[in-house]
Structure formats: structure tokens, C-alpha cells
Amino acid sequence: MHVTYPGDRAKSQYRYYVCNNRLNHQSCRQDYIRADILEASILQEIAKLAERKDVITALVADFVARAHKTVPELEEKRAAIIRDRATLAEEKQNLSQWLLGTGLTSQSVACFFSHDDAPTEKETRLQEEQWGSRTA
């Protein structure tokens, strides 16, 4: 559904919901529905559901059960991300040792890494996967 303001000037003061297919392709015959009427109806139904403790209890129990099922999977994924980040850190350390072994001075290696201090794209992606959108 999509919100629109159809019709002449008198009607345009009302918001309506309309099927996207009707709006974009004229392939749906669902009538326009006044937004204020639809939204009031939905709020009434939500209020009725909120009064039913059995429904709320069942919803909460279902949510908790699903959360308990996903926690081990998420912990496993988090552990894999931590391992991948550790591997990247080890690769950087190995590169540093290799550069020092080629005869470069420690100042040159430090200069190289000072230009490379920003996390790589892969490091950034792994960090975001581990912690969501915030950075560590």
C-alpha cells in the first residue's frame, strides 16, 4: 500500500492508501481507502489485542523461544568473525616482520603502516558484522 492524495482539491485534504499496483500499473481494482479511517480501525484492533493477556503471553513466549534458538547461531557467527579479525591482525604482523626482513628500517615500516592505519574494507565489514553499525 502507498499513501496518496488523489482527486480534486476538496478530496486532496485527505490521505488515502492505495495498492501500489493500482497506482503504478492500474492492475489492481482495490478501492482507495481513507487513511484516517484505516488507521483508526487498525489502532482499535491493536487496542483489543493489547487487552488480551493470553495473546500477549503467547507472543512473548514465541519471541523468547525464537530468540533462544537464534542465540547459539549468532554466537557461532560472532566467534567466526572474531577469528577472522584475529587472522587479519596476524597477517598484518607477518607483513610487518617480512618488511623488516627485507632490509627496510623500522622507520620505513612504521611509515608504511602509518599510511595503512585505516581499517581495510574487510576489517570494517567484519567489525560491523560483529558489533552492528557501531564501531569498536
pTM for this prediction: 0.41
Give Dmax (Cα) for the chain.
Answer: 82
Q: What is the pLDDT of residue 2?
A: 81
List C-alpha distances in Å: 135 to 89, 101, 126. Answer: 17, 33, 10
Query: Per-residue pLDDT tens for 97-136?
Result: 888 888 888 887 777 777 655 567 777 777 777 776 554 4
Same domain, 43 and 71: no
Q: Which domain holds residue 117?
A: 66-136
Q: What is the Cα–Cα distance from 81 to 40, expressed in whole angstroms?
A: 46
List, for residues 27-68, the tens digit of each pLDDT value: 888 888 889 999 999 999 999 988 999 989 999 999 999 988
Written as one letter, the residue type at 93 is Q
Query: Both 26 and 71 in a single domain?
Result: no
Q: Return the half-sphere exposure (C-beta side, CA atoms, 13 A cut-off) of residue 84.
A: 16
| Residue 135, all three cell numbers | 564501531
One domain, residues 74 and 41: no
Query: Does residue 56 form part of some domain?
Result: no
As for how many domains the chain has, the answer is 2
